[in-house]
């Protein structure tokens, strides 16, 4: 993160009132998302990779208490034992409760966590209103970007939990739904061979893993005009894609066998319906396929006679486009089909798009100093890059240089596929 406190499309540098308003809005939005749930819903942890909603509410608050309020040596936490409960992975800060056991934290109760949120929000708001600390805005902005990440996780995690309930409850049963549209025919957009630059450059907010901006050599190739649709992925399934070992990476095929995968996450056996945050509903054949792992994306690309884009190819294509699309703000919380003749569609929003690039550092990468240096750098092993944001990503959180990362077997995120090709 740079010293700047501004985010893409949001200029808060030198403007305490504007940053305070942004702080209030994002903190309110997290609570508003959780307000759709009953207290019992907020405690459940459906798998080790997911966290209870109550934990997300508390952890994002802990972040501000630890890294903003905690900078004042005179600050005394009202609940110091909660630091152990709601630390995530910051080893240099102190020990933490085991991640797979977060669902056992029935106490503190939800109302106590919401009171904790309000107390910390009020204290940080007071500091921002004073406007007398030049270093504060950058740390607060990092905390806000971190909270937006957890807004997305809150939604994907509760979707997973609800999908395991035989009643198939809906997070937002009366939410807006997209109008069905016919996706344009799959086509490829060419790009030239040559040296290009990728990575963040400028004064706005960005994570440390997005820099430094640097040159790479890009071979000539092609990138698909849109993401792979449900109908196209269904054809892969019906053609025996999950029964053909030659299409899969070795670890991917081992995962298919051990986990007995036969279709995308949340699809039913008939391949006609899927579980969504609005409950179970018919699969839109024209919408982007979602909730597929890197292994599945790679296997589909082989079946289609293509490959996945490299992250530099993806970034260079997306950098030409405005950051518009189906984001959290739409309230649909589900990928949607669009009908358009634009050369490149849905690069932002709808689904995170797997790339064939491993998550490694850029040349000259330097993590943040201190405990915040644990934010990104230490995860640069065994993960793969996704780009573009999803239907549950806040729009002002994303940019062309944003590097998301997950292990190759992960499926519970809104992850999809865009094809690349060399010919």
User: How confident is the prediction along the chain (423 residues), in pLDDT tens digits per residue?
Assistant: 333 333 333 445 558 899 999 999 999 999 999 999 999 999 999 999 999 999 999 999 999 999 999 999 889 999 999 999 999 999 989 999 999 999 999 999 999 999 999 999 999 999 999 988 999 999 999 999 999 999 999 999 999 999 999 999 999 999 898 888 999 999 999 999 999 999 999 999 999 999 999 999 999 999 999 999 999 999 999 999 999 999 999 999 999 999 999 999 999 999 999 999 999 999 999 999 999 999 999 999 999 999 999 999 999 999 999 999 999 999 999 999 999 999 999 999 999 999 999 999 999 999 888 888 778 889 999 999 999 999 999 999 999 999 999 999 999 999 999 999 997
Element (H, E) at 190: strand 188-191
Q: Per the omega criterion (within 30 degrees of 0), is the bond before 108 cis?
A: yes
Is there a contact between 209 and 376 (Cβ–Cβ < 8 Å)? yes
Residue 218 exposed, middle or buried by CB count within 10 Å (0-12, 13-18, 19+): middle
Residue 389 in tokens: 């944001």
Q: How far is 267 from 233, CA to CA, in rounded Å?
A: 11
**CATH tag for 188-421 (out of 3.30.300.30, 3.10.450.50, 3.90.226.10, 3.90.1580.10):** 3.90.1580.10
- Which residue in 392, 415, 412 sits closest to 46, CA to CA? 412
User: What is the C-alpha separation between 108 and 54, in angstroms, rounded?
Assistant: 9
Taking the C-alpha atoms of residue 295 and residue 411, their distance in angstroms, rounded to an integer, is 10
Is residue 416 classed as helix, strand or coil in its secondary structure? strand
| Domain edges within the chain | 16-163, 188-421
Query: For residue 171, with 0-12 CB atoms within 10 Å meaning exposed, 13-18 middle and 19 or more buried, which class applies?
Result: buried
What pTM did the predictor assign? 0.95
User: Which architecture does CATH list for 16-163?
Assistant: Up-down Bundle (1.20)
Residues near 24 by beta carbon (within 8 Å), at least 6 away in sequence: 121, 125
Residue 416 backbone phi and psi in degrees, to 5 = -135, -160
């Amino acid at each position: 993160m740079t010293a700047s406190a501004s985010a893409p499309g949001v200029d808060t540098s030198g403007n305490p009132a504007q940053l305070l308003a942004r702080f209030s809005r994002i903190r309110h939005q997290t609570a508003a998302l959780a307000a759709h749930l009953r207290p019992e819903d907020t405690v459940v942890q459906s798998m080790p990779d997911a966290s209870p909603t109550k934990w997300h509410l508390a952890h994002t608050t802990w972040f501000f208490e630890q890294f903003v309020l905690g900078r004042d040596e005179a600050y005394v936490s009202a609940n110091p034992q909660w630091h152990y409960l709601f630390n995530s992975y910051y080893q240099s800060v102190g020990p933490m409760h085991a991640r797979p056991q977060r669902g056992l934290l029935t106490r503190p109760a939800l109302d106590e966590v919401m009171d904790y949120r309000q107390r910390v929000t009020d204290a940080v708001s007071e500091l921002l209103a004073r406007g007398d600390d030049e270093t504060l805005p950058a740390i607060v902005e990092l905390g806000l970007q971190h909270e937006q990440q957890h807004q997305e996780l809150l939604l994907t995690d509760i979707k997973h939990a609800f999908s395991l309930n035989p009643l198939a409850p809906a997070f937002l049963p009366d939410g807006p739904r997209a109008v069905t549209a016919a996706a344009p025919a799959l086509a490829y957009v060419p790009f030239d061979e040559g040296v290009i630059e990728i990575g963040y450059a400028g004064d706005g907010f960005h994570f440390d893993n997005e820099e430094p901006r640097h040159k790479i050599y890009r071979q000539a190739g092609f990138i698909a005009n849109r993401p792979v649709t449900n109908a196209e992925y269904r054809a892969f399934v019906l053609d025996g894609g999950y029964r053909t070992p030659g299409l899969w990476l070795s670890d991917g095929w081992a995962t298919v066998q051990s986990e007995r995968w036969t279709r995308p996450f949340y699809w039913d056996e008939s391949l006609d319906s899927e579980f969504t945050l609005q409950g179970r509903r018919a699969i839109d054949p024209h919408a982007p396929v979602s909730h597929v792992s890197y292994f599945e994306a790679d296997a589909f690309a082989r079946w289609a006679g293509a490959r996945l884009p490299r992250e530099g190819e993806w970034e260079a294509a997306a950098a030409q486009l405005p950051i518009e699309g189906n984001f959290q703000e739409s309230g649909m919380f589900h990928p949607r089909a669009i009908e358009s003749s634009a050369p490149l569609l849905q690069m932002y929003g709808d689904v995170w798009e797997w790339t064939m690039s491993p998550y490694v550092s850029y040349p000259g990468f330097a993590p943040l100093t201190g405990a915040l240096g644990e934010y990104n750098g230490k995860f640069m092993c065994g993960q793969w890059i996704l780009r573009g944001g999803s239907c549950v990503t806040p729009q002002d959180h994303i940019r062309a240089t944003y590097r998301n990362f997950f292990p190759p077997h992960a499926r519970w995120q809104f992850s999809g596929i865009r094809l690349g090709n060399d010919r």
